[in-house]
Structure 1
Amino acid sequence: MMLSLFDQFMSPTFLGVPLIVLALTLPWLLFPIPSNRWLNNRFLTLQTWFIYRFVRQLFLPMHRSGHKWAVLLTSLMLFLITLNMLGLLPYSFTPTTQLSLNLGLAAPLWLATVLIGVRGQLVYSLAHLVPEGTPTLLIPVLVIIETISLLIRPLALGVRLTANLTAGHLLIQLISTATFVLVTTMPLVSFFTATLLVLLTILEIAVAMIQAYVFVLLLSLYLQENV
C-alpha cells in the first residue's frame, strides 16, 4: 500500500539491488544500430532524420570549436527523452524524477563548459561578470550577482527537469485515483476525469520531450558562451 503520493518516485529495489541501474541501461538497448544496407527501414530513417535536424539546429549558431560536443549532446538528448517517455508506462520508474541524477548530469557538463572558457579565453569569460558600461561603484555588486547566477546554473538545470516531471506524474496520479474512486458513485464525473486523464497524458508526453530538449539546449547555450 502506498503511504504517500511521493512514494512513487522512490527508486524500486529487487533483492536489495536498486532497479535504477537497469532503468539507466535500458534506453541504449531500444535504439537500432544503422546497417550497411543502401536502404534502411522506416524507423532507422526517422531516427537518422531526427538526429540530423537536431544537430543542425543546435550547432548552427555555435563556433566550429564547439562542434566536437555534437555526439555527447545528441546522445544525452536521446537518453533523456527515452527515460522520460519510459517513465509514463505503467509499472515503470522515471529516473529523471530524482534530483540527484539530474544534478549528476548537469553539474559536470556545466563545469566542463566553464573550464573550456577559462582555458581558451579567460579574459572574455571574466568579461561576462561585468556588463559593458557598468558604473565603477556597481562593479563589485554586479560581480557577486553574476557569479551567483553562474554557479546556480547547474542547480536550475536539475531542478527544472525534476520539478516538471514530478508535477506531471503527481497530476496523473491524483486524477487517476479520482477516476477509480468516482466510477461507482458518480459515473458521469468519472468519465470526464478519465477524458482529462487522457489529455493530461498526451500533455505529459509533450513535456517529457520538451524538457529533454530544453536541458540540452541550455547546455549548448552555456557552451556557446565559452567557445
Structure 2
Amino acid sequence: MMLNFFDQFMSPIYLGIPLMALALTLPWVLYPAPSQRWINNRLLTLQNWSINRFTHQLFMPISPGGHKWAILLTALMAFLFTINVLGLLPYTFTPTTQLSLNMGFAIPLWLATVILGMRNQPTMSLGHLLPEGTPLPLIPVLIIIETISLFIRPLALGVRLTANLTAGHLLIQLIATAVFVLLSIMPAVALLTATVLFLLTLLEVAVAVIQAYVFVLLLSLYLQENV
C-alpha cells in the first residue's frame, strides 16, 4: 500500500539497478529504424511524416543558421513526448517528474543558445538586456531585471515541465483512490467519479504531449533570439 502519494515520483530501484536508466533508454527502442526501401510500412511512413511536419513548423521562423539544431530539438521532442505518455501507463515511472532530469535538459541547451548568440552576434545578444529608448535613470535597473529574467529561463523550463506532470499524476492518483473507496459505499458516485477519472486521463495525455512541445518550442525561441 502506498503510504504517501509522492512515493510514486521516487525513482524505483530493482535488484540494485535504478529503473530510471531503463525508462530513459526505452523510447529509443520503441521507434522503428529508417528503411532504405522505396516504399515503407504505414508506421514508418507516419513517423517520417510527423517528424518532417514538426521540424518544418518549428524551424520555419528561425534563420538558416539555426537549422543545425533540427536533429537535436526534434529528437528531444520525440523523447519527451514518449516518456511523458509512457508514464501514464499503470506500473510505470515518469522520469520527467524529476526536476533534476528536466534541469539537466534545460540548462545545457539554454546555455548553448546563449553562448551561440555571444559568439555570433554579441551586440544583439547584449542588446536584449536593454530595450531601445530606455530613460537614462532606468538603465541600471532594467539591465539587472533583464539579466535576472535571462538566468531564470532554464529554471522556468524545468519547473514548468515538472510541475504540470506532477500535478496531473497526483490528481489522477487522488481521484483513483476516491473511486476505490466509494465503490463499496456509494456505487453511483463511484461510477460518476470513474467517468471524471477517464476524462482527466485523456486530458493528462494531452498535457503530456503539449508540455513536451512547449519545452522544445521555448528552446527554439531562445535559439531564434541568438542566431
- Scaled to the shorter chain, the TM-score interval is over 0.9
Structure 2: 5+ residue runs without aligned partners?
Answer: none
Determine the structure 1 residue equivalent to 2:201: 201
**TM-score, L = length of structure 2:** 0.99
Q: What's the offset of the Cα at 1:15? A: 1.6
Equivalent position of 1:100 in the other structure: 100
1:223 — aligned with what? 223
Distance in 2, Cα, partners of 1:220 & 1:35? 29
- Counterpart in 1 of 2:30? 30
Alignment correspondent of 1:128: 128
Name the CA distance, whole Å, in 2 between partners of 1:189 and 1:93: 29
Q: Provide the rounded CA distance (Å) in 1 between the counterparts of 2:13 and 2:122.
A: 46
Normalised by the length of structure 1, the TM-score is 0.99
Alignment partners' CA distance in 2, 1:42 and 1:176:
36
| Alignment deviations for residues 154-197 of structure 1 (CA, whole Å, 9 cap, x no partner) | 00000000000000000100000000110111000000000001
Cα deviation code 1:68-88 (max 9, x no counterpart): 000000000000000001100
* Cα separation, 1, equivalents of 2:158 and 2:54: 22
Summarize deviations over 1:91-129 as a string: whole Å, max 9, x none: 000000000000000000000000000011111100000
Q: Look up the match of 2:150.
A: 150
Counterpart code for 1:15: L
**What letter is aligned with 1:190?**
A
> Which residue identity lines up with residue 33 of structure 1 in the other structure?
A
Q: Secondary structure at the match of 1:185?
A: coil
For 1:37 and 1:75, the matched residues in 2 are separated by 23
- Residue type of the alignment partner of 2:64: R
Deviating 4+ runs (over 4 angstroms): none
How many residues are treated as equivalent by the alignment?
A: 227
Alignment partner, residue 87 of structure 2? 87
Pairs within 5 Å for 1:1-227: 1-227=1-227
Q: What's the C-alpha RMSD, in Å, of the aligned pairs?
A: 0.6
Q: What is the CA distance between 1:25 and its match in structure 2?
A: 0.4
Identity of matched residues, %: 74
Alignment partners' CA distance in 2, 1:39 and 1:184 = 55
Letter of the 2:30 counterpart: L
CA distance, structure 1, for counterparts of residue 221 and residue 42 of structure 2: 32
Q: CA deviation at 1:40?
A: 1.0
